[in-house]
Structure 1
Amino acid sequence: MKDLQIPLNQTQKVRLLRALQQLQDLASKVTSSASVTVADTIPVNHEDGVLKGHGTSELDGEVVATLCGVVERVNKLVYIRALRARYKPEVGDIIVGRVTEVAPKRWRLEINFSQDAVLMLSSMNLPDGIQRRRTAVDELNMRSIFEENDVVCAEVRGFQHDGSLHLQARSQKYGKLERGQLLMVPPYLVKRRKQHFHHLERFAVDMILGCNGFIWVGEHVEARDNMVEDQESRPEQQNGKLNIISMRVEEQERTYTSLETRQSICRIANAVRVLSSLGFSLNIEVIMETVELSISLNLDIHEMLGAEFCVQIAEREVEWRSSLSKKKG
């Protein structure tokens, strides 16, 4: 998702710059690690021995930074953690991706990584819900499961010997995502947490915060057991054409998303857009606070992307961090 181009008047510009400066000052007080730019010298104790890690180099006997970021130290290892970097997958990461190719026995997905990820046919649940070996028929029916441009949720399985990144989707919570919006934000804004799946009951909306910076906001879908569903549908199929027609009507009703739910999806998505444009870390608490603020101010959904609301979010963040630092102090 590209940064929002928000037109600010002079007063709003001054307020926003002041808020961002205050946030920077507060962050420098809290963070003990030093921020460095390219060619800055990193103070180290050569007597204890130093291991130069990522983003560091040696010049004239001194350790210098080759990246902009924060100095991190683990025992003797010194490295730079880049503030803005591409997504670096770790095993177990929850990601959201878009299918780019249906290949033999696998799908390729764009996940905001340096290369496409691979989801093997053998690494996911089949629609019939039965655990069995994949056959040639399953391979021929791959497009009925996922096709190009489908949005898919999966889990990082690991890197293979050929260097490719492999995914898996062996649970009901993974799979194809429909009836919602896909948002793309810088991956460093989404921190790894225990829970990346969120059901917002009040709005009847599901949100998935992908570790790769792809965020899904869509209508809530109940996880159903496919095996039970198949057993229930078999006797209906034997009754004849009348039941087939009624099933089609029910299917249309299930795929219809109410106006209220669509508005909720758009409001939550706009909250993500505003926070991302300001460079704030994204978690469910901050996103929902932003949504609640927009509701309390009686803002229409499109007004959330206006300059005034953007400035108010920055000022609210300053107040929250200031009160937090006072409590710690």
Structure 2
Amino acid sequence: MRKLQVSLSLSQTQKIRLDKALEKLQSCTTNPNASVIVADSIPVNYEDAFLKGLGTADHNGEVVATVCGVVERVNKLVYVRALRARYKPEVGDIVVGRVLEIAQKRWRLEINFNQDAVLMLSSMNLPDGIQRRRTALDELNMRNIFEENDVVCAEVRNVHNDGSLQLQARSRKYGKLEKGQLLKVDPYLVKKSKQHFHHLEQYGVDLILGCNGYIWVGEHVEVRDSMVEDQISDVERQKITANKNSTSLEEQELIYTPLEMRQNICRIANAIRVLSNLGFTLIVEVIMDTVNASNTKNIEIHDMLGSEFHVVVAEREADRRISLTKRKK
């Protein structure tokens, strides 16, 4: 938080307001001993047998933390889950990545992991929507599906023992992402849940919270059923392809994202940046509350990254958590 205060160059009044908001947030924490920094003592019951896991060590007869994070206990195992660590993938995670290379029957993606992920051609839903074996012609046309620097949404299919990662994109909700912004935040700020795809109907924007810390904010795209796709004739597909490849001014205007939509995307993206700077968990309710607060206070999009709005968001989040705590009681 000190780095935040320096980067924002807060005034004296803003520093006092921010400190008060942080004190309120700390008072709402159910277990203050859960968060530790390096050399903090971890309370354990020495009478019962326990196992020291990652992020812990012995020092003068006490168990201390060797990393900053949250103390986790699983049966007899005690370890510290580092917060600002690289993404650790699990099967079923929704991730957003960028294509780095096209290889033989596969794409190589960067997903904020210590190794690049692999998306096989056989694990990809083809544009025609027909389930069939991949041929040599499909391999030659791989660049028509994804090319270098494309942003892609996929699901973790398998994590091998050597750390290599394999993805899949067999559903219509996965695939290439266009007309939007790609944001990078700390992976621990994205909580794993049942729903990582969100359609913000009020703004006509799609929000994808990748478990790997990559977040996509883009124009809403309707996911058509495969049965509807199969009804499109080959002639119509050729017309669509020709329209995409044409470069006339009128057709380019149809491809461009409207100004209002771009403003909505930028406003939501800046709200996520503010929450990330403050270290708040990124959930849809908090993101929408931050966006609505910027609209209510008539804050311009570029002013959302200023020091005043950061303080306002911290105060609102403190009030929200206090109200939630009172409801539980």
Q: Do they fold alike, i.e. is TM over 0.5?
A: yes
Pick closer, same or farther for the CA change 1:35–1:203 going to 2, 3 Å.
closer
Inter-partner Cα distance in structure 2 for 1:63 and 1:245: 66
**Cα deviation digits, residues 124-160 of structure 1 (max 9, x gap):** 1111211111122211111111111100000011213
* Deviations 1:77-102 (CA, angstroms, capped at 9, x unpaired): 11112232211111111111111111
2:109 alignment partner, SS class? strand
Letter in 2 for 1:20: L
- Whether contact under 8 Å (1:130, 1:227) holds in the other structure is no
Q: What does residue 55 of structure 2 align with?
A: 55
Question: TM-score normalized by structure 2?
Answer: 0.89
Structure 1 gaps of 5+ residues are: none
The structure-2 alpha-carbon separation of the partners of 1:311 and 1:291, relative to structure 1 and needing over 3 Å to count, comes to same
- The residue that corresponds to 1:23 in the other structure is 25
Supply the distance in 2 between the matched residues of 1:158 and 1:72 (Cα, whole angstroms): 25
Distance 1:161 1:320, change over 3 A: closer
The answer as to whether partners of 1:127 and 1:226 remain within 8 angstroms in 2 is no
Structure 2 CA distance, aligned partners of 1:21 and 1:100?
44
Q: Give runs of aligned pairs for residues 68-87 of structure 1, distance below 5 A.
A: 68-87=68-87
Relative to structure 1, the CA distance from residue 245 to residue 312 in structure 2 (aligned partners, 3 Å threshold; closer, same or farther) is closer
Distance 2:33 2:263 in 1: 42
Is 1:90 the counterpart of 2:82 in the alignment? no
Q: Is the 8 A contact 1:33 1:72 kept in 2?
A: no
**2: distance between equivalents of 1:245 and 1:181?**
25
1:3–1:276 contact (8 Å) kept in structure 2: no
Instruction: Write out aligned runs for 1:105-124 (5 A).
Output: 105-124=105-124
Aligned-residue sequence identity (percent) comes to 70
Any conservation in 2 of the 1:91–1:158 contact (CA below 8 Å)?
yes
Work out the CA distance in 2 between the residues paired with 1:237 and 1:271.
39
Q: 1:9 aligns with which of 5, 8, 11?
A: 11
Give 3-state SS (helix, strand or coil) of 2:287's partner: helix
**Match in the other structure for 2:144:** 144
CA distance in 2, matches of 1:180, 1:149: 14
Query: The residue matched to 1:286 in structure 2 has which SS?
Result: helix
After superposition, the Cα gap between the structure-2 partners of 1:35 and 1:303, relative to the gap in structure 1 and judged at 3 Å, is closer
Partners of 2:156 and 2:237 lie apart in 1 by 38
* Farther-moved stretch of structure 1 (60-69 vs 136-145): 60-69
Worse overlay, 275-284 or 66-75: 66-75
More deviation, 101-110/189-198 = 101-110
In structure 2, the residue matched to 1:263 is 263
CA distance 1:161–1:186, shift in 2 (3 Å): closer
Match for residue 64 of structure 2? 64
Q: CA deviation at 1:121?
A: 0.9
Q: Separation in 2 of the partners of 1:156 and 1:237?
A: 31
Amino acid of the residue matched to residue 23 of structure 1? L
Residues 144 and 69 of structure 1: is their aligned pair in 2 closer, same or farther, counting only changes over 3 Å?
same
Secondary structure at the counterpart of residue 8 of structure 1: coil
TM-fit CA distance, 1:307: 1.7
Offset, 1:170: 0.5
Distance 2:244 2:38 in 1: 66
Give how far 1:178 is off.
0.2
Q: TM-score, normalised by structure 1?
A: 0.89
SS at match of 1:202: coil
Which shows bigger deviation, 293-302 or 175-184?
293-302
Does the residue aligned with 1:299 lie in a helix, a strand or coil?
A: coil
Q: Which residue of 2 aligns with 1:205?
A: 205
